[in-house]
């Protein structure tokens, strides 16, 4: 899954993608580089980010979505937790909604997705962008994440989304200290067994790597990302969400060949 952010405050990409033409070209390049999905986002949800209105979010993503809907061969996901934004994006050609809140911010999002026959990614987090780290307290991070994702899964099915249309994301870097993110990655098979749904893992360029590689700008974290992506694939992830598509396609393909040889 290639990350296509059209926000002025992305932590890991150029803000030039606010220009729809630049964003469209970037998505087409990701597809050519081997991306199987494109994840389009109009609001930064990084820790500490300021929220934006649904109107502003739609103003950022709809020109890009409209430009890609007839040119992109791979499915488009829209990264939003807002029901109104999700509905408009699905109507404009998106196939998946990637909800970082796991339906905790707007429960009505499930109905918007179900009514349009879309798929949904439910990510684990706690709190909003500015408060999530204060809530990063776990007795057992894998057991707690599995339980809370199970609650999101139940909310989605009760909202009408078929089980086979739901993907789960343990939320590496969200409401988690570095040790929690590493713990989730290390114990991903355990999480996969507990949830019994396809897993998306998104470690790309995140700050949890600092305690391993030192303080580095986001654009210099692709080697660390490669290690995390490899771990995710070997641990059973079905989708990895990345910035550097061309490089990570090679990482994923080699890791997948190793996984095929596992007993």
The pLDDT value recorded for residue 10 is 65
Residue range(s) defining the domain that contains residue 201: 69-260
The number of CA neighbours under 13 Å toward the Cβ of 139 is 5
Say if residue 39's pLDDT is above 80: yes
Residue 51 lies in a domain: no
CA torsion, ordered 261, 252, 78, 21, to nearest 10 deg = -150
The pLDDT value recorded for residue 15 is 47
User: What DSSP letter does each residue of 155-215 carry, written as one string?
Assistant: HHHHTT--GGGEEEE--TTSS--HHHHHHHHHTHHHHHHHH-S-BEE--TT-GGGHHHH-S
The pLDDT value recorded for residue 129 is 81
Residue 18 lies in a domain: no
- How is residue 10 written in tokens? 């992305």
Task: Compute the mean pLDDT over every residue in the chain, rounded to the nearest whole number.
Answer: 94
pTM of the model: 0.94
Residue 15 lies in a domain: no
Say if residue 11's pLDDT is above 70: no
Q: Which residues pair with 77 in a beta bridge?
A: 39, 96
Residue 22 lies in a domain: no
Query: What distance in Å separates the CA atoms of residue 64 and residue 72, rounded to the nearest whole number?
Result: 11
Give the residue-averaged pLDDT of 26-42. Answer: 97
Task: Give residue-wise pLDDT tens across range 86-142.
Answer: 999 999 999 999 999 999 999 999 999 999 999 999 999 999 888 898 999 999 999
Task: Give residue-wise pLDDT tens across range 210-219.
Answer: 989 999 999 9
The pLDDT value recorded for residue 45 is 78
Task: Give residue-wise pLDDT tens across range 190-223.
Answer: 999 999 999 999 999 999 999 899 999 999 999 9
Say if residue 47's pLDDT is above 80: no
**Which residues are known catalytic residues?**
206, 241
The count of domains in the chain is: 1
Residue 186 lies in a domain: yes
The pLDDT value recorded for residue 50 is 83
Give the residue-averaged pLDDT of 46-74. Answer: 92
Task: Give residue-wise pLDDT tens across range 224-252.
Answer: 999 999 999 999 999 999 999 999 999 99
Residue 170 lies in a domain: yes
Nearest to 8 by CA among 47, 55, 56: 56
Residue 223 lies in a domain: yes
Residue 33 lies in a domain: no
The pLDDT value recorded for residue 51 is 86
> Domain holding 150: CATH number?
3.20.20.20
């Amino acid at each position: 899954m290639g990350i296509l952010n059209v926000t002025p405050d992305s932590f890991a990409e150029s803000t030039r993608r606010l220009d729809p033409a630049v964003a469209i070209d970037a998505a087409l390049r990701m597809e050519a580089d081997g991306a199987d999905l494109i994840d389009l986002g109009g609001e930064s949800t990084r820790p500490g980010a300021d929220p934006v209105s649904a109107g502003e979010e739609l103003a950022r993503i709809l020109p890009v979505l409209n430009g890609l809907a007839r040119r992109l061969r791979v499915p488009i996901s829209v990264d939003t937790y807002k029901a109104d934004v999700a509905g408009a994006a699905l109507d404009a050609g998106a196939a998946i909604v990637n909800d970082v809140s796991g339906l905790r911010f707007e429960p009505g999002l499930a109905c918007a997705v179900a009514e349009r026959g879309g798929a949904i990614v439910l990510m684990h987090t706690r709190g909003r962008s500015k408060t999530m780290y204060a809530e990063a307290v776990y007795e057992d991070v894998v057991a707690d994440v599995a339980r809370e994702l199970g609650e999101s899964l139940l909310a989605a099915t009760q909202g009408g989304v078929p089980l086979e249309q739901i993907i789960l994301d343990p939320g590496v870097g969200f409401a988690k200290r570095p040790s929690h993110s590493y713990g989730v990655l290390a114990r991903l098979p355990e999480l996969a067994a507990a949830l019994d749904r396809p897993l998306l893992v998104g470690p790309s360029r995140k700050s949890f790597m600092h305690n391993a590689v030192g303080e580095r700008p986001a654009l210099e974290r692709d080697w660390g990302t490669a290690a995390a992506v490899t771990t995710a694939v070997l641990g059973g992830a079905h989708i990895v969400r990345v910035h550097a598509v061309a490089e990570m396609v090679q990482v994923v393909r080699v890791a997948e060949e190793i996984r095929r040889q596992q007993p």
